[in-house]
Homo-oligomer: A and B are copies of this chain.
Amino acid sequence: MISEKFLMGRGRHELSSEEKQVLEDGIESVRHVAARKQIVRAGDLIETSTLLVEGFVCRYMDDREGQRQLVAVHVPGDFVDLHAFPMKRLDHDIATLGPVKIACFEHRTLQSITERYPHLTQKLWFSTLLDAAMHREWIFRLGRLGAEGRVAHLFCELNARLEMVGMAAEGRYMLPMTQPDLAEASGLTGVHVNRVLRALREKNLLTFKAGEVNILDRKALAAVAEFEPQYLYGSRGD
Contacts and interface: CB of A to CB of B under 8 A. Distances in A.
Number of copies: 2
Given A126-B86, A128-B128, A226-B63, A139 B69 contact: yes
A108 to B, nearest CB: 13
A114 interface: yes
Nearest to A128: B129
B140 A139 contact: no
Contacts of A226: 63-64
Interface string A128-154: 110111011111101111000000000
B128 A132 contact: yes
A136 B187 contact: no
Interface residues of A, number: 46
A92 interface: yes
Contact of A135 (B69, B114, B123, B135): B135
Contacts of A235: none
Interface in A38-96: 42-43, 59, 61, 63-64, 67, 69, 71-72, 83, 86-88, 91-92
Interface string A151-170: 00000000000000000000
Contact of A144 (B59, B63, B126, B233): B63
Contacts of A72: 136
Contacts of A125: 86, 125, 128
Contacts of A59: 136
Q: Which 8 A-B pairs have the closest CB atoms?
A: A143-B187, A135-B135, A142-B142, A132-B132, A91-B231, A86-B126, A71-B136, A69-B143
